[in-house]
């Protein structure tokens, strides 16, 4: 039996990883070790580790990494603390491989620790671009540490080959979000209202806004523009989910929480959980903000996305995604256009993220690689 450590640092990667966690647990040749870190453990961000336990997963280790503050220095300190804690956890657990997803600094900490402890690393969602966030550089760095890659589109696979990765270790499995949409039972609006204490009708706006850690727009400017954008649409009902733990995230949360407190029909939640979030996506008229979910999960459900600013610039955008500068007039015009356009006309369900069965394909490739010996293959020079 191979022991597989899977690291999750927040609600976003956990939601995507969930089908893979279930598949590992169901496989007799694999044993799951789930390591929880990052803002899962933060009260400010909803202590979402509790949802993991409520979902029935045993947590093998909790690694506290998030340091106080809403700055780039706090992010750097959190990375350092994460490397220390993750090194101890991985040393004690001694897994046969470590699985990480994405591009955040708490995931970089896990990758660095695995590299120095000589534990093979498997990376999910490599080869993507997000030019308005430091996550872009982090993602590529993790890819170069990893021995095995599961990417979401053929274009992302091509980028990893361009980075010198061996084609025998880079697989276009599709995105795990496809499995989530196929497997998760969605709540109707009435059920959503009963669970979350809202008074919504279908066609509300769903908002998630994060800082641009490498963009020109300040967190305060983004949040202020968002409030101006939402003000004329209060009658529709608005659900806002909390920002992440990047520098500026606390500023955005403070402004949007205040906006929700001042307006009837607007609700702010630190987190909705996977079922709650996907249910909200399915019932919303438009998803507004700059979260990666707006370009991955949301298009799979056929809901249009208004992607604001540069945070996700460069990422593959399905036809249902409209990208707009973080300027009030441009944002307002784009949102009005989406609200006037019949939902089917936005490119419902058009995406390149593959078919259901993504987690199963990942395990097939993972077990084959473990059988062969999951060492890092040499850099491949290509003309």
Question: CB-side exposure of 57: number of CA atoms within 13 Å?
Answer: 32
pLDDT at 346: 53
Query: In this predicted model, what pLDDT tens digit does every residue of 218-246 receive, in sequence order?
Result: 999 999 999 999 999 999 999 999 999 99
State how far the alpha carbon of 109 is from the alpha carbons of 140, 251, 329, in Å: 14, 25, 40
CATH code, residues 186-346 = 3.40.50.2000
- pTM of the entire predicted model: 0.93
Handedness of CA 131, 243, 18, 101 (dihedral sign): positive
Query: One digit per residue, pLDDT tens: the chain, 383 residues?
Result: 999 999 999 999 999 999 999 999 999 999 999 999 999 999 988 999 999 999 999 999 999 999 999 999 999 999 999 999 999 999 999 999 999 999 999 999 999 999 999 999 999 999 999 999 999 999 999 999 999 999 999 999 999 999 999 999 999 999 999 999 999 999 999 999 999 999 999 999 999 999 999 878 899 999 999 999 999 999 999 999 999 999 999 999 999 999 999 999 999 999 999 999 999 999 999 999 999 999 999 999 999 999 999 999 999 999 999 999 999 999 999 999 999 986 655 555 679 999 999 999 999 999 999 999 999 999 999 97
Query: In this predicted model, what pLDDT tens digit does every residue of 168-219 receive, in sequence order?
Result: 999 999 999 999 999 999 999 999 999 999 999 999 999 999 999 987 889 9
Query: In this predicted model, what pLDDT tens digit does every residue of 103-130 receive, in sequence order?
Result: 999 999 999 999 999 999 999 999 999 9
∠ CA 63-176-136, nearest 5°, is: 65
Q: Measured between alpha carbons, how far is 230 from 234 in angstroms, rounded to an integer?
A: 7
What values do phi and psi take at 268, rounded to 5? -115, 130
Cα–Cα nearest to 306, from 289, 318, 281:
289
b (16+ CB within 10 A) / e for 236-266: bbbbbbbbbbbbbbbbbbebbbebbeeeebb
pLDDT at 345: 57
pLDDT at 348: 55
- At 276 the three-state DSSP class reads helix
Q: Measured between alpha carbons, how far is 44 from 271 in angstroms, rounded to an integer?
A: 10
Domain boundaries, the chain: 2-175+354-372, 186-346
DSSP characters over 300-356: HTT--EEEESSTTTTS---TTEEEE-S-HHHHHHHHHHHHHS-GGGGTTT--SS--S
Q: Measured between alpha carbons, how far is 110 from 35 in angstroms, rounded to an integer?
A: 10
Contact residues for 371 (Cβ-Cβ < 8 A; gap 6+): none
Contact residues for 86 (Cβ-Cβ < 8 A; gap 6+): 7, 35, 37, 63, 65, 109, 110, 112, 113, 114
CATH code, residues 2-175+354-372 = 3.40.50.2000
Q: Measured between alpha carbons, how far is 132 from 214 in angstroms, rounded to an integer?
A: 5
User: Is-same-fold flag (2-175+354-372; 186-346)?
Assistant: yes
85, 120 Cβ separation under 8 angstroms? no
Positions of E strands within the chain: 2-8, 30-37, 59-63, 97-101, 121-124, 148-151, 170-172, 205-208, 238-241, 266-269, 286-289, 305-308, 321-324
- At 284 the three-state DSSP class reads coil
pLDDT at 215: 78
């Amino acid at each position: 039996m191979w022991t597989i450590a899977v690291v999750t640092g927040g609600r976003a990667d956990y939601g995507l990883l969930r089908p893979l966690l279930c598949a590992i647990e169901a496989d007799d040749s694999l044993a799951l070790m789930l390591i929880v870190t990052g803002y899962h453990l933060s009260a400010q961000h909803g202590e979402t580790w509790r949802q993991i336990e409520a979902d029935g997963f045993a947590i093998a280790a909790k690694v506290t990494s998030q340091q106080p503050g809403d700055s780039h220095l706090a992010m750097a300190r959190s990375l350092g603390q994460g490397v220390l804690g993750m090194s101890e956890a991985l040393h004690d657990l001694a897994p046969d491989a470590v699985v990480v997803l994405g591009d955040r600094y708490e995931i970089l900490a896990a990758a660095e620790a695995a590299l120095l402890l000589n534990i093979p690393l498997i990376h999910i969602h490599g080869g993507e671009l997000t030019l308005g966030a430091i996550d872009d550089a982090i993602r590529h760095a993790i890819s170069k540490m990893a021995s095995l890659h599961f990417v979401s589109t053929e274009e992302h696979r091509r980028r990893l080959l361009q980075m010198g990765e061996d084609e025998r270790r880079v697989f276009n499995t599709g995105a795990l979000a496809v499995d989530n949409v196929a497997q998760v039972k969605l709540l109707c609006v009435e059920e959503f209202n009963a669970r979350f204490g809202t008074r919504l009708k279908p066609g509300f706006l769903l908002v998630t806004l994060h800082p641009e850690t490498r963009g020109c727009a300040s967190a305060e400017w983004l949040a202020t523009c968002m409030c101006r954008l939402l003000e004329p649409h209060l009658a529709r009902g608005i659900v806002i989910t909390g920002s992440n733990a990047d520098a500026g995230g606390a500023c955005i949360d403070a402004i949007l929480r205040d906006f929700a407190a001042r307006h009837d029909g607007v609700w702010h939640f630190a987190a909705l959980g996977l079922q709650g979030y996907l249910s909200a996506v399915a019932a919303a008229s438009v998803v507004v903000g700059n979260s990666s979910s707006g370009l991955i999960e949301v298009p799979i459900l056929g809901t249009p996305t208004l992607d604001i600013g540069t945070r996700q610039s460069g990422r593959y955008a399905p036809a249902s995604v409209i990208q707009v500068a973080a300027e009030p007039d441009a944002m307002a015009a784009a949102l009005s256009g989406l609200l006037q356009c019949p939902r089917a006309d936005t490119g419902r369900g058009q995406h390149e993220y593959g078919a259901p069965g993504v987690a199963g394909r990942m395990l097939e490739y993972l077990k084959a690689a473990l059988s062969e010996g999951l060492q890092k293959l040499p850099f491949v020079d290509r003309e």
